Amino acid sequence: EEVAKLLQLKAQLGGDDGKHTFVLKTAKGTRDYNPKQMAIREKVFNTIISCFKRHGAETIDTPVFELKETLTGKYGEDSKLIYDLKDQGGELLSLRYDLTVPFARYLAMNKITNIKRYHIAKVYRRDNPAMTRGRYREFYQCDFDIAGQYDPMIPDAECLKIVYEILSELDLGDFHIKVNDRRILDGMFAVCGVPDDKFRTICSTVDKLDKMPWEEVKNEMVKEKGLSEEAADQIGEYVSMQGGMDLAERLLQDPKLSQSKQACAGLTDMKQLFSYLQLFQVTDKLSAEKVRTTETQVLVASAQKNLLEERLKLTAELWNAGIKAEVLYKKNPKLLTQLQHCEETGIPLVAILGEQELKDGVVKLRNVATRDEVDVSRAELVEEIKKRTSES
Amino acid sequence: EEVAKLLQLKAQLGGDDGKHTFVLKTAKGTRDYNPKQMAIREKVFNTIISCFKRHGAETIDTPVFELKETLTGKYGEDSKLIYDLKDQGGELLSLRYDLTVPFARYLAMNKITNIKRYHIAKVYRRDNPAMTRGRYREFYQCDFDIAGQYDPMIPDAECLKIVYEILSELDLGDFHIKVNDRRILDGMFAVCGVPDDKFRTICSTVDKLDKMPWEEVKNEMVKEKGLSEEAADQIGEYVSMQGGMDLAERLLQDPKLSQSKQACAGLTDMKQLFSYLQLFQVTDKLSAEKVRTTETQVLVASAQKNLLEERLKLTAELWNAGIKAEVLYKKNPKLLTQLQHCEETGIPLVAILGEQELKDGVVKLRNVATRDEVDVSRAELVEEIKKRTSES
């Protein structure tokens, strides 16, 4: 019945008769993932999740929508980007905007104070994203949080270790992880003479250094936000500094900054963090391979006619032995067709049956890439396939 | 910053000061999954996905919402259960109700005709589900489809092989897979004299056999849908039949049913399916065993009228020999009623008496599951029942 429904729907959706003016598209800002994209996604997720598991993290899942009031007031100005569900009677609901608020709701509801959890799931924002730059209205977030009270900087160091491991294993090329401590920035503002009531707004201007050059940032501080040029220049000097342990030590000696208790606390913690990161040192490793959308190890094929039953039997034998196998759904497919299927989908091996092979109790095992063929006895076939596919 | 936000939210959500009257709950019909539930889910999903991969399947993903018009008209009466998103400007959207319509939309949009894909994802229904019975408004569906034109029954056999493998590997206990072919049911309707324009409605009544007893189903056919009592009884006899290859063969010989070309086509395909299933080694281990509340080994029954006394006599013989036996307390019960009692309560054997059997000094011993019938002499009946019920 499902199949009938599907065929009917397909006919309806894809009708060539021109009668249907059906809009065939996904919602704005969303996309399908085809098998190739899914294979890549799976590989990336597996790398990430293996890392989280190696670090002893648990995972939870929460519904895709929450009570509207659970989300209300949590996102400030961005609240207008929340997707609300239509009021069809009952509760007022909204699609989740991130995974942090649902996590907080989960902790509070279950009175949980300590948990190391990851959550990889889609979130929803009614933004006008630049889809050409990979931004969408439905997109994945990958959250890792350590909730609880611990000695300073130890969980923070583990989080950074995890980021380092994942970025290394994903083999994305060189990367740079930036760390900060809000108390250091606040201390800088204080010693540079930023009035208390301007901390927030000057901070949001400094954040723009990612996107615009210093001159423009300074301009905004001075012209728009009324900061003195001198204060702006001092801030500019501080925020342009980059470094690790050495910088934290240098700033602790800085005659001006060291006058701020806040900044000193932040810098001391930062030193602690860098010392833990040294203890956590890691080595990189790499690997790369071609993208396949299935994991099939072998295609069961025949060169002669009337061997469908033998093909099906052998396929079942392989499945039962845990081998990933496929067979073409055709009574008498040509050998060429069968080999082409392997090349198109990247299946590395073909098990070929013929009258002679059946008589001899063997299977011709062909390496698709090298075209090498050897006779393998039925009894040893599973082992041989496992051996050959574990090598690659 | 994320951490600060989180802590702030947690304080806000879970504050102990009693100032907050925040509702801490998930939306109606939804639930969180805690780490333990997630670990179980992961294990189950891995079993299922490994099987799909062993069979060379790909996976795709589609957005959680679709254009409202993509879903409109696809679910008939159930359309009222679709979650719509609020009109916040732009497209009108709805949460997906199943994975089939998005799959059809995906195939049509990308002009794909051949694909073997699985898709495990959440779907949304504004139902009033019995959550105590594990039904929710947000729940997972697991779809596996083979789209394309192939030689008959080969993909169908693989689908069943997959269901068989997954249910076996999940180790859920015994199971029973039911297969059908719509053409057989339509053929039955035709030869039983159901008017063409009543096929659909009678079909939906027959579907209710899962949930209500035959008497009620018949009542609906006759009283509500205006079918003749005779036609209803004939349908009842056909649809009560269960079996595999043997039943398909028997029905192909059925003088009435074999007059329907449709039914014959369906039955021939069904035979083909069973032959492939044998090659795939699916049929051997299948047997139905539901939880039984009695231990009755045999029901003493008769096909003809006026045999109450003989039934009672045989029942007593069996009791005296230590056999757990039942008999219906009705002078002239229909054979169908007696067989249904066995199926409902899990009685594995029926001892059937008729004029001919009495004359020959035998009893027709019927296996309820397989429909097999053999004549057993009265002298050997007790031993035969003991033998058969000790095996299982």
A114 CA to chain B: closest CA distance, Å? Answer: 12
Interface of B with A in 278-337 (CB under 8 A): 279-281
**Is B151 within 8 Å of A26 when comparing Cβ atoms?**
no
CB A115 within 8 A of CB A147: yes
- Does residue A139 belong to the interface with chain B, where contact is any CB pair within 8 Å? no
pLDDT at B77 over 90: no
Residue B204, pLDDT score = 86
B187 CA to chain A: closest CA distance, Å? Answer: 16
Max mean pLDDT among A169-173, B2-6, B255-259 falls in: B255-259
- CATH number of the domain located at residue range(s) A35-149 in this protein: 3.30.930.10
**Is B13 within 8 Å of A67 when comparing Cβ atoms?**
no
Radius of gyration of chain A (CA): 30
**Is A28 within 8 Å of B4 when comparing Cβ atoms?**
no
Q: Which chain B residue has the Cα nearest residue A103?
A: B6
Chain B hits for A60, CB-CB cut-off 8 Å, are: 32-35, 38
pLDDT at B228 over 50: yes
Question: What is the C-alpha to C-alpha distance for residues B7 and B3, in angstroms, rounded to an integer?
Answer: 6
B388 CA to chain A: closest CA distance, Å? Answer: 30
DSSP secondary structure letters along A75-134: SGGGGGGPPBBP--SS--EEE-S-SHHHHHHHHHHTT---EEEEEEEEEE------GGGT
Neighbouring C-beta atoms of residue A72, cutoff 10 Å: 13
Is residue A189 exposed (0-12), middle (13-18) or buried (19+ Cβ within 10 Å)? buried
Tokens of A33: 């993932």
Max mean pLDDT among A20-29, A128-137, A193-202 falls in: A193-202
Chain B hits for A138, CB-CB cut-off 8 Å, are: 63-65
Backbone angles phi, psi at B279, to 5 degrees: -65, -35
In Å, the largest CA–CA distance within chain A is 94
**Is B6 within 8 Å of A147 when comparing Cβ atoms?**
yes
Residue B360, pLDDT score = 95
Residue B2, pLDDT score = 59
**Is A86 within 8 Å of B91 when comparing Cβ atoms?**
no
Question: What is the C-alpha to C-alpha distance for residues B330 and B314, in angstroms, rounded to an integer?
Answer: 15
Neighbouring C-beta atoms of residue A22, cutoff 10 Å: 15
- B146 - beta bridge partners? B116
Is residue B59 exposed (0-12), middle (13-18) or buried (19+ Cβ within 10 Å)? buried
- Does residue B118 belong to the interface with chain A, where contact is any CB pair within 8 Å? no
The DSSP 8-state label assigned to residue A332 in this structure reads S
Q: What is the mean pLDDT of chain B?
A: 87
Residue-wise pLDDT for A139-151, tens only, equals: 999 999 999 988 8
Interface of B with A in 208-227 (CB under 8 A): none
pLDDT at B381 over 50: yes
Chain A hits for B74, CB-CB cut-off 8 Å, are: 9
Closest to A85 measured CA to CA, from B146, B57, B64 = B64
Cβ contacts below 8 Å, chain A against chain B, sum to: 242
Residue of A168 and A94 predicted with greater confidence:
A94
User: Kindly report the CA angle at A96 between A94 and A97, in degrees rounded to 5?
Assistant: 110
Residue-wise pLDDT for A219-265, tens only, equals: 999 999 999 999 999 999 898 887 788 888 999 999 999 999 999 99
Quick one: CA dihedral B204, B210, B216, B218, positive or negative? positive
CB B147 within 8 A of CB B113: yes
Domain limits, chain B: 35-149, 182-279, 298-391
The DSSP 8-state label assigned to residue B222 in this structure reads I
Q: Which chain A residue has the Cα nearest residue B61?
A: A33
A237 CA to chain B: closest CA distance, Å? Answer: 23
Residue A10, pLDDT score = 59
pLDDT band of B74, cuts 50, 70, 90: confident
- Does residue A26 belong to the interface with chain B, where contact is any CB pair within 8 Å? yes
Backbone angles phi, psi at B203, to 5 degrees: -60, -45
**Is B67 within 8 Å of A25 when comparing Cβ atoms?**
yes
Residue A287, pLDDT score = 26
Question: What is the C-alpha to C-alpha distance for residues B162 and B156, in angstroms, rounded to an integer?
Answer: 10
Interface of B with A in 142-161 (CB under 8 A): 145-148, 150-151, 154-155, 157-158, 161
- Does residue B78 belong to the interface with chain A, where contact is any CB pair within 8 Å? no
Share of chain B above pLDDT 70, in %: 91
Say whether B319 sits in a helix, a strand or coil. Answer: helix
**Is the ipTM value over 0.90, yes or no?**
no
In Å, the largest CA–CA distance within chain B is 92
pLDDT at A346 over 90: no
- A302 - beta bridge partners? A353
CB B146 within 8 A of CB B114: no
pLDDT band of A282, cuts 50, 70, 90: very low
Question: What is the C-alpha to C-alpha distance for residues B281 and B161, in angstroms, rounded to an integer?
Answer: 8
Closest to B95 measured CA to CA, from B73, B121, B63 = B63
The dihedral region occupied by A195, where left means phi > 0, alpha psi between -120 and 50, and beta the remainder, is beta
Mean pLDDT, rounded, for A327-335: 89
Residue B67, pLDDT score = 96
Torsion of CA A379, A381, A386, A387, to 10 degrees: 90
**Is B60 within 8 Å of A35 when comparing Cβ atoms?**
yes
- Does residue A31 belong to the interface with chain B, where contact is any CB pair within 8 Å? yes
Q: Which residue in B20, B22, B24 has the most chain A C-beta atoms within 10 A of its own C-beta, making it the best mutation to test that interface?
A: B24
Backbone angles phi, psi at B389, to 5 degrees: -85, -15
Chain B hits for A12, CB-CB cut-off 8 Å, are: 104
Question: What is the C-alpha to C-alpha distance for residues B120 and A152, in angstroms, rounded to an integer?
Answer: 41
Residue-wise pLDDT for B303-348, tens only, equals: 899 898 888 888 888 888 888 888 887 888 899 999 988 887 788 9
Residue-wise pLDDT for A35-71, tens only, equals: 999 999 999 999 999 888 888 888 999 999 999 999 9
**Is A309 within 8 Å of B100 when comparing Cβ atoms?**
no
Q: What is the mean pLDDT of chain A?
A: 87
pLDDT band of B4, cuts 50, 70, 90: low
Tokens of A13: 């959706």
Q: Which chain B residue has the Cα nearest residue A38?
A: B60
**Is A27 within 8 Å of B1 when comparing Cβ atoms?**
no
pLDDT band of B288, cuts 50, 70, 90: very low
Interface of B with A in 248-287 (CB under 8 A): 276, 279-281
Mean pLDDT is lowest, of A84-93, A127-136, B46-55, for A127-136
Residue of A4 and A240 predicted with greater confidence:
A240
Torsion of CA A260, A264, A267, A271, to 10 degrees: 160
Q: Which CATH superfamily is domain B298-391 in?
A: Anticodon-binding domain (3.40.50.800)
Max mean pLDDT among A14-18, A244-248, A311-315, B129-133 falls in: A311-315
pLDDT band of A22, cuts 50, 70, 90: low
Share of chain B above pLDDT 90, in %: 56
Mean pLDDT is lowest, of A315-329, A346-360, B89-103, for A315-329
Question: What is the C-alpha to C-alpha distance for residues B296 and B327, in angstroms, rounded to an integer?
Answer: 10
Intrachain domains A35-149 and A298-391 with the same fold:
no
Tokens of A191: 């010693």
Determine the length of chain B.
Answer: 392
Quick one: CA dihedral A290, A295, A297, A299, positive or negative? negative
Neighbouring C-beta atoms of residue B350, cutoff 10 Å: 22
Residue of B264 and B203 predicted with greater confidence:
B264
Neighbouring C-beta atoms of residue B377, cutoff 10 Å: 11
Residue A289, pLDDT score = 39
pLDDT at A14 over 60: no
Residue A7, pLDDT score = 61
Neighbouring C-beta atoms of residue A263, cutoff 10 Å: 26
Max mean pLDDT among A201-210, A281-290, B294-303, B378-387 falls in: B378-387
Chain A hits for B127, CB-CB cut-off 8 Å, are: none
